[in-house]
Structure 1
Amino acid sequence: MYVDGGSSSEILYEHCFNRFRPEVRNQMVPATTPLVGFSGEIIWPLGQISLLVKIGDEEHSTSARMNFMVVRSPSPYNGIIGRPGVRKIRAIPSTAHGMLKFPVVGGIVTLRSSRVIPLECSMVSEPGMPQPVINQASEEKIQVAIHPEYPEQTVAIGSTLTEEGRKELCGLLRRHLDVFAWKPSDMTGVPRNVAEHRLNIREGCLPVRQKKRGQAPERNKAICEEVEKLVDAGIMKEVHYHSWLSNPVMVKKTR
């Protein structure tokens, strides 16, 4: 479960709801209100169901009845506990520390989240007890070149895929090479209202003109080559009336 202090309701995803026993699923009733996302999108739930939620372990736990909206949407989580649920269990979540604290009889319980693959259940511990160390599992990536004309440009594919799944994914990418930008000229045609750089400055501020800084020969060559590509593609153009001027900064590209 994901504890989200920004959610105004509790969410239960359909893939988790379908694993309930039939007598529990039959308790779902129609939902009367839609869910509105951050960007204004509207989703109508499949229904709503009231469930008794227990958080903790056998020795230290708290429970509260929460009203979940059942939603058909892909998610790595089983559900979301929002502000109403957090208030009911009197919990204090910390996203920065990945922790959740709530009172129980005899003390305070600290729940620590672990972001391992696949997602595992969180562990519950009592203050003052030693904490086991959890090794963070990381998935290795395999770099694959999918365009025969640009072998130096690769995409990262998860190493957990089977050989057959890897071939199917690479085949899908190769069939849709036209959706990727392989050279600067492929990035033209983007409307200015979609991608445009502006200087967010206060009115009346004087322009800043940096003095020209010299670059090492190899860096100067790389800068000229990249600028020439962008000029030829029509992404950049030369002007002679700068009101603001800054030196280019070289950043090493990482994969």
Structure 2
Amino acid sequence: MRQSVAQAIRGALLERDPRAKTMAARRIARDWRLGRLDFAFDLEMPDVPGRPDAPELLPPNRMPKRGKGGSQRGRIALWHSIAHIEFVAIDLALDMAGRFGAEMSEAFVGDFLSVAADEAMHFALIDRHLRSLGSHYGALPAHHGLWEAAYDTRHDVAARLAVVPMVLEARALDVTPATLERVRAAGDERGAAILKRILDDEIRHVRFGANHFAAVAERLNAERDSLWKLLVSRHFRGAIRPPFNDSARLAAGLSRDLYHGVA
């Protein structure tokens, strides 16, 4: 009897070891693509995914300062924070596919499993880069707020799509180019290449979210932009502020009129 996609995803979500989780995410995406997993949702997703013993997770307001950007300490802190974002992003994509796949479609599952595989690859590249700097993922504290958006929208696929891909991941489109230029100016060409790969992939990830959100809005007979603004006001705790990378957002399916209306 073949394994269900829900069983595979739940196992990866509960995995605590970072390397094992990255390998599991990439394996599930490959097995799904090759037709080795059944489109069946016979298990619920955990409300909290597995986490390694380190890093220590702190509230954002208790996070230590990174230090000066040009210092070795500052560079390590920057890459560690990016590593943590990408690590949690693996779980965000897996949970999206496993929690909402039954009510959506096989295409939805395939899209977000491919996102999980991308995030796993990003994490592996960054952790390798951290090690080349004399550090590793878990060496510094990280903030625990990233999973809150997933937990708060666990009962509503429209809200999850509105907040995670279309707000949180879209924000990466805005901030990554400036980070990339700072890294390149510091002479870190390998780091710049990693960030360029992440930026290119994130455009596709946000587009997946925008496209599936539009499909949900149509199914609900709701106007897409109005529904998005309503759900963001209800479920997103932060503020959506400029500057915006309008060209990258447009490539990802987010019109300027959509997000400027809530900034």
Interval containing the TM-score (normalised by the shorter chain):
under 0.3
Choose 1 or 2 for highest CA Rg: 1
Q: Pick 1 or 2: higher relative contact order, CA cutoff 8 A, min separation 6.
A: 2
Structure ranking higher in helix proportion: 2
Name the TM-score, length of structure 1 as normaliser.
0.22
Name the TM-score, length of structure 2 as normaliser.
0.22
Structure ranking higher in strand proportion: 1
